[in-house]
Amino acid sequence: MIEKVNPKHPDKVADRIAGAIVDLGYKIQENPKIAVEVLIGHGNCKIIIESSVIFNETDIFDIVYRIAETNNVKIEIIMAKQDEHLAKNQENEIRCGDNGIFKGVPLTKEQCEISNIARDLYSKYKSDGKYILNKDHFIICQSNAKTEELLKYLKKFDYKFTVNPLGDWTGGINVDTGATNRKIGSDMADSVTGGGLHGKDLSKADVSVNIYAFLKAQETRKEVNLCCAIGDTEIDGKPYSEIVEIAKKYINVIGGFEKFAEWGLF
C-alpha cells in the first residue's frame, strides 16, 4: 500500500516553497546553512527561516507568489540566525548537522507504478491530486480533473478504481492547508524514518543521509539502516563530506531543491 501526491497538493506547495528558498540560499552562499518551515493556506503563508544567509524579503515573496500561483496571499516571514552551537559545529569542516536514524529501502513494483501514474496524470492535469494504490485497488482524487476524464484514462490499467469520492471539486490551498515535510510517506515510500527531506541544506543529515541511504538501497536491493550524531565526520564507513557530495550530485541532477520537493525520492 502506498500513497503519492503531486506537486500541486498543498503540502507539496509548502515543500516547494521551502526548497526554492534553499536554492536561493545556495545562490547567495557556497555552503549555506538553512532550515525552512512553511505553512500555507486560506490566504496566508507563514515562513520561518533559520539560516546563515540574509535573504531579501522581496525574493521570498516572489517565490511564494510563483509557486502558489497567486498574489492574493498574506506572507509573514520570520528570519533568525542559525544557533551558535550548530554554527560552530560546521566552522572548520563538513560535519553531520543533526542527529538521526535513517533507512533506505528498495522500491517495490507497486511504488514505481503509482509514481509513474501520478507523474503521467500530472502532465495531463496540472492540478492538486492524491493517489493511493493498495494491491489491485487504485484510489484517486484529482482536483479540477473531471471524473469521467479520469475514468477514461484509467481504463488501460488492470485495477479496481475509486475516483473522486467527493465528486468533482477544486482542491488547492484554499481548501486545505499545506505544511513542510507532511507528506514524507509520499516522498520516501518505505524509507520513512524520523527526518524530513525538505527545506534544509546539505549539511543536514535529514537531506544527505536520507538520499545516500535511498540510493544505496536501490543499488544493492537491500535495506540500509544508518544512524548519526551531530558532529560525526563519518557515516557508513565514508567521510560525511563524501555523503554530502553524493547528495549534492543527486540534487543537481534533479534540478535543485525545489524540483526535489515536487516528488521526493521516487
Q: Examine residue 174 and state whether it is found in any structural domain, yes or no.
A: no
On whether both 145 and 208 belong to a single domain, the answer is no
Query: In CATH, what number is assigned to the domain containing residue 52?
Result: 3.30.300.10
Q: Examine residue 240 and state whether it is found in any structural domain, yes or no.
A: yes
pLDDT of residue 68: 97
pLDDT, tens only, 5-49? 999 999 999 999 999 999 999 999 999 999 999 999 999 999 999
On whether both 134 and 202 belong to a single domain, the answer is no
Number of domains in the chain: 3
pLDDT, tens only, 87-115? 888 888 888 988 999 999 999 999 999 99
Residues of the domain holding 155: 2-6+109-163
pLDDT, tens only, 157-195? 999 999 999 899 888 999 999 999 999 999 999 999 888
Q: Residue type for 197, please?
A: L
Q: Examine residue 168 and state whether it is found in any structural domain, yes or no.
A: no
Sheet with 160-163: list strands edge to edge: 2-5, 129-134, 137-142, 160-163
- pTM of the predicted protein model: 0.96
Mean pLDDT of the residues in the chain? 95
On whether both 191 and 252 belong to a single domain, the answer is yes
Strands (E), 42-143: 44-51, 74-81, 100-104, 129-134, 137-142
Binned at pLDDT 50, 70 and 90, residue 83 comes out as confident
C-alpha 70/C-alpha 64 separation (Å) is 8
Q: Residue type for 44, please?
A: N
Q: Examine residue 220 and state whether it is found in any structural domain, yes or no.
A: yes
Q: Examine residue 265 and state whether it is found in any structural domain, yes or no.
A: no
| C-alpha cell belonging to residue 65 | 507568489
**What torsion, rounded to 10 degrees, do the Cα atoms 178, 86, 99, 45 define?**
0
pLDDT of residue 182: 97
On whether both 156 and 187 belong to a single domain, the answer is no
On whether both 159 and 213 belong to a single domain, the answer is no
On whether both 197 and 151 belong to a single domain, the answer is no
Q: Examine residue 90 and state whether it is found in any structural domain, yes or no.
A: no
Averaged pLDDT for residues 222-238: 96
Q: How many CA atoms lie within 13 A of 49 on its CB side?
A: 26
Q: Three-state SS for 14?
A: helix
Q: Examine residue 92 and state whether it is found in any structural domain, yes or no.
A: no
